[in-house]
Chain A
Amino acid sequence: MPAVSKGDGMRGLAVFISDIRNCKSKEAEIKRINKELANIRSKFKGDKALDGYSKKKYVCKLLFIFLLGHDIDFGHMEAVNLLSSNKYTEKQIGYLFISVLVNSNSELIRLINNAIKNDLSSRNPTFMCLALHCIANVGSREMAEAFASEIPRILVAGDTMDSVKQSAALCLLRLYKTSPDLVLMGEWTSRVVHLLNDQHMGVVTAAISLITCLSQKNPDEFKTCVSLAVSRLSRIVSSASTDLQDYTYYFVPAPWLSCKLLRLLQCYPPPEDGAVKGRLVECLETILNKAQEPPKSKKVQHSNAKNAILFEAISLIIHYDSEPNLLVRACNQLGQFLQHRETNLRYLALESMCTLASSEFSHEAVKTHIETVINALKTERDVSVRQRAADLLYAMCDRSNAKQIVAEMLSYLETADYSIREEMVLKVAILAEKYAVDYSWYVDTILNLIRIAGDYVSEEVWYRVIQIVINRDDVQGYAAKTVFEALQAPACHENMVKVGGYILGEFGNLIAGDPRSSPLVQFNLLHSKFHLCSVPTRALLLSAYIKFINLFPETKATIQEVLRCDSQIRNSDVELQQRAVEYLKLSSIASTDVLATVLEEMPPFPERESSILAKLKKKKGPGAVSVPDLEDGKREGGELNGGGERGPDSAAMSASNASTPSPSADLLGMRSAAPMSAAPTSAGSLLVDVFSEAGPAAPSAAVNDDGFLRDLEPPTETSGLSSELQTPVDSPFNASSRRFVCKNNGVLFENQLLQIGIKSEYRQNLGRMYLFYGNKTSVQFASFTTTVSCPGELQSHILSILRATKPVEPVVEGGAQIQQVLNIECLTDFSEAPLLNIKFRYGGALQNLSLKLPVTINKFFQPTEMTSHDFFQRWKQLSQPQQEAQKIFKANHSMDTEVLKAKLLGLGTALLDDVDPNPENYVCAGVIQTKGQQVGCLLRLEPNGQAQMYRLTLRCSKDSVSLRLCELLAQQF
């Protein structure tokens, strides 16, 4: 029996616990517990009033039973009774019971709050602490309502005992996290800040947590804490190892308090006051110096405590990112840790260096450790350490070392743990693309990726390699040759077949001169893989075959033979059957010219940010892994807990993944991007993400005309080439909705029959849009109807109440114009556009049009004027990686200053003058108004006239908004 338990009675409890421990089976335990519960129940119900001791004992037994995992549905009242006992041990058990078994019965809550109130005003520090701990542990709204105004008073009162102050500070912190609206610091602010000066280190330790949390929310009100924190830190850092007595831990003075002080300083930019700044830099230097001194003890506790401070100091140095000397010293220190025998230190050094790598001052210094990091990737036993090494390699990669790093990562991938393969693949793909000097290296790298880790190569990765090959004619021949060789392997990954099929279908002709890769050899090679592939890949291969017929007429007979066989033309899969039938028909009836037009080489894709990068960001983002069960904390802790909301895009992504139609791998479908971007089910799908902008390129206009003509004829069952071509292609509408990002009025759509004009106005989170439908013909449009729909995400309340004030007239006379008004309310941020569907009869034929309405998130901007100082302060505050979105892109339009200014103003933000030190750059600020919240957005556009390039950076308080705005805007310039 433990020493302590002997003296303090409750023998019954010890016996009961022993009994439970002696139970041989679960059944025996339950039996013993039920016996005890019956006993306790009868005692509580009995006529004889129980004395305090018995009550305490039984309540404690109930608590023990509850902690074993059994339900307890009585005893609350007895526990509450214990609260009013004036014996500490009884009170303590009562408080413990109600903190562990929180109950929502309002009568009980009233009684509990009453008891707490009595204890708070008792002036007995022990009782006050018990009451405060109970509030801090329960932290309910009711308690906040009852005590939020009382606790600050206790905290700052002159006669409050130190231990009570400690409890009061943290109790208040808990209430602030639960119910910030109820905790009003106002008049107390300055006295709370001055607790940093308290002579009791424990009070400072507790109070600083409260101050840090409050500072994050109200930095301006608490900014006096900076100089106080610096002087406190300076006193600790410069004290000898024994000066602080009780607060020295293994020869390290006040390690936890030092860490908390350094963390508080990370809520603010570097101190403006030169003296304070100088003192702080001195502290940081001292901390770095101490790391080099011989240890005062061999105990790991000593070095851990010392290094805890060191890592926190390095975090602060990185946060300031303004002292090159300190940054480089930090980097050197971490470099030493990289080879330390403590795994913990190696891990933390890798993690910390990762952030150092992104600072311009220390990037080069970090790079010098490349060999050590590569070695870590190869030899570390703990997978989480290897993961950090991979992260660091990724962060330190630039043009000078890309080939080496990519090669190392590829070779690591062969043995990498399954848990991190997918992320590794994305990283390799991104680095390969970002730093590709010659694109043959890029193609080799990606094909290697598919070879080594094919299962982990997501669609984005292979879409991207195709996109790049199509855009660079210097690499097409090489790509064709390489995939051809890769496909020779007896077992190759299906992703390789996809890439191979696509590339040979487009560029097989470039290697057809070599008899070893003649058209028929190519075809036979591809077709040898066909039967082992899944339906989407087979569909893609069929499209490659029809492209072969166009590229190499000599393969026509062989391929028609294949298409004609029963396994194709009667395939049970509708998609495959339809392709086989249509391609066979197309190849036999269309003239060579028509064939050549329909199957023309893919037009280049517009340059844009890699969707792989977006995927990685999403993966890494805090919302990427959804933790619904931790949501409570999100509400409690706000941004403190670091868990952002799950971005709407990722939600859309998973939704559409589930319903992605099989033709998503369609070659022709990509060309006529219409059904993908228009069909609600695929809104936000990966394919759209990569290719949605394929539309406006020149050749697709021809396709659109086809579609339009087709529309003039009555549609018949058999006339469609393929379902994709039947719907009028909305690519020009994509283009037109893009035109409306920076303006509100203009012509949305026009063809030979119909013109649609648009006028819109926005205020706060509301908008009104006037649509004008003009009949350009002399014949009446009958049964004219319009419907507005919100695809996928939108529908689920992202953007809602998009409704016509009244339906349009069903008849539009020749030459007449009718008007329609839409009201729009933005509930929360969104990225898809609502669809406008228009149907009418012209002559005998039914016309059907789908357009994207130009409603974009930036319409809900309110401009914000701010000074340069404010701007950069806010900029720094939005420093989490996922809050930033950046794109570097080629100028598509004039780079004239006035044009740019007009566009940026049209965007809805305030264009800030004299903010950016470089007058060439443009800086804007605004707040997006949604019903639920306001999203602050900062924008910086850096033109490079010489290179005809822009760099666009967005930082917003909500990740998804940064991404969306960046996407939208990159198309504007």
Chain B
Amino acid sequence: WIRFILIQNRAGKTRLAKWYMQFDDDEKQKLIEEVHAVVTVRDAKHTNFVEFRNFKIIYRRYAGLYFCICVDVTDNNLAYLEGIHNFVEVLNEYFHNVCELDLVFNFYKVYTVVDEMFLAGEIRETSQTKVLKQLLMLQSLE
């Protein structure tokens, strides 16, 4: 199961941090820095997987943003890798060509998108159609 999801830019600024287990604030900061350090040194020829402490990070880079998911070492790498992509496609649809600024100005909405697709560290919903329908319904509410 997922321990945390991080979206960071190349400079290391966090655009989303979603935690699925208890960490104190210092620890969160340390994890954020460590993930940034291990992920940014890798290039396109490298795998999308990095061992990380007793876990592993599955990540993919989209323009200047790194989407990282920390899971157990026995978890299915490709399933989570595509889980990231599925999530990115939903964001892209929802924000009409998503860019980093959308995530900054609408940070509170990004959390809603995450909760629709991932909950309690597990994949909750994978259908883009269903997620987007739900998001648009919520968008219409006051």
Contacts and interface: CB of A to CB of B under 8 A. Distances in A.
A177 B23 CA distance: 16
Contacts of B30: 629
Interface in B82-103: 82-83, 85-86, 94-96, 99, 101-102
Interface in B63-84: 72-74, 76-79, 81-83
Nearest to A388: B47
A246 B107 CA distance: 27
A263 B125 CA distance: 17
A60 interface: yes
B37 interface: no
B95 to A, nearest CB: 6
Interface in A377-422: 381-382, 384-385
Nearest to A348: B77
Nearest to A640: B1
Contacts of A8: 139
Interface in A328-355: 343-344, 347-348
B103 to A, nearest CB: 9
Contacts of A5: 102, 105-106
Interface in B9-64: 14, 17, 21-23, 27, 29-30, 42, 45-51, 53-55
A641 B22 CA distance: 13
B47 A382 contact: yes
Given A173-B122, A209-B122, A344-B78, A4 B109 contact: yes
Contacts of B126: 202, 205, 247, 249, 254-257
A166 B125 contact: yes
B74 to A, nearest CB: 6
Contacts of B47: 343-344, 347, 382, 384-385
A643 B124 contact: no
Contacts of B45: 343, 381-382
Contacts of B48: 344
A60 B127 CA distance: 29
B72 A641 contact: yes
B28 to A, nearest CB: 10
A206 B102 contact: no
B119 A206 contact: yes
Interface in A5-28: 5, 8, 14, 17, 21
A174 interface: yes
A3 B96 contact: yes
Interface in A280-323: 301, 304-305, 307-308, 311-312
Nearest to B21: A633
Interface residues of B, number: 66
A205 B78 contact: no
A679 interface: no
Contacts of B121: 174
A622 B49 contact: no
B82 A17 contact: no
Interface stretch (A85-93, A104-112, A491-499, A814-822): A85-93
B54 A308 contact: no
A723 B46 CA distance: 57
Interface size class of A (residues with CB under 8 A): 35 or more
Interface string B116-130: 000111111111111
Contacts of B74: 642
Interface in A75-91: 87-89
Nearest to B123: A256
A458 B108 CA distance: 52
B85 A301 contact: yes
Contacts of A139: 120
Given A209-B122, A385-B47, A4 B106 contact: yes
Nearest to B53: A627
Given A307-B78, A636-B21, A256 B122 contact: no
Interface string A786-816: 0000000000000000000000000000000
A367 interface: no
A625 interface: yes
B141 A88 contact: yes
A69 B102 CA distance: 20
A637 B104 contact: no
Contacts of B85: 301, 304
Given A133-B119, A382-B45, A629 B142 contact: no
Contacts of B1: 209, 637, 640
A88 B136 CA distance: 13
Interface in A46-70: 60, 63-64, 67, 69
A311 B142 contact: no
Contacts of A245: 129
Contacts of A136: 119-120
A913 B58 CA distance: 48
A209 B119 CA distance: 10
A745 B27 CA distance: 53
A3 to B, nearest CB: 5
Contacts of B46: 343, 381-382, 384
Contacts of A206: 119, 122-125
Interface string A133-155: 10011010000000000000000
Contact of B3 (A93, A263, A633): A633
A205 B124 contact: yes
A201 interface: yes
Contacts of B73: 642
Contacts of A246: 127-130
A1 interface: yes
Contacts of B99: 2
B82 A174 contact: no
Contacts of A381: 45-46
Contacts of A1: 105
B130 to A, nearest CB: 6
B119 A170 contact: yes
A93 to B, nearest CB: 6
A171 B108 contact: no
Nearest to B128: A246
Nearest to A635: B22
Given A167-B119, A259-B76, A633 B49 contact: no
Given A202-B130, A259-B76, A308-B82, A633 B22 contact: yes
A4 B105 CA distance: 10
Given A126-B138, A343-B47, A632 B22 contact: yes
Contacts of A92: 108, 112, 138
A166 B30 CA distance: 33
B134 A163 contact: yes
Given A174-B120, A384-B47, A304 B78 contact: yes
Nearest to A59: B108
B99 to A, nearest CB: 8
A698 interface: no
A381 B43 CA distance: 10
A30 to B, nearest CB: 17
A630 interface: yes
A96 interface: yes
A249 B86 contact: yes
Contacts of B81: 304, 308, 344
Contacts of B54: 622, 625, 627, 630, 641-643
15 contacts: A2-B105, A5-B102, A170-B119, A205-B126, A209-B1, A247-B126, A249-B86, A257-B126, A304-B85, A308-B82, A343-B46, A344-B77, A381-B46, A622-B54, A630-B3
Given A173-B122, A642-B54, 4 more contacts: A87-B141, A205-B124, A630-B55, A642-B72
6 residue pairs, one from A and one from B, having the closest CB atoms: A308-B78, A174-B120, A246-B127, A88-B141, A209-B122, A170-B119
Interface of A: 1-5, 8, 14, 17, 21, 60, 63-64, 67, 69, 87-89, 92-93, 96, 126, 133, 136-137, 139, 163, 166-167, 170-171, 173-174, 177, 201-202, 205-206, 209, 245-247, 249, 254-257, 259-260, 263, 301, 304-305, 307-308, 311-312, 343-344, 347-348, 381-382, 384-385, 622, 625, 627, 629-630, 632-633, 636-637, 640-643
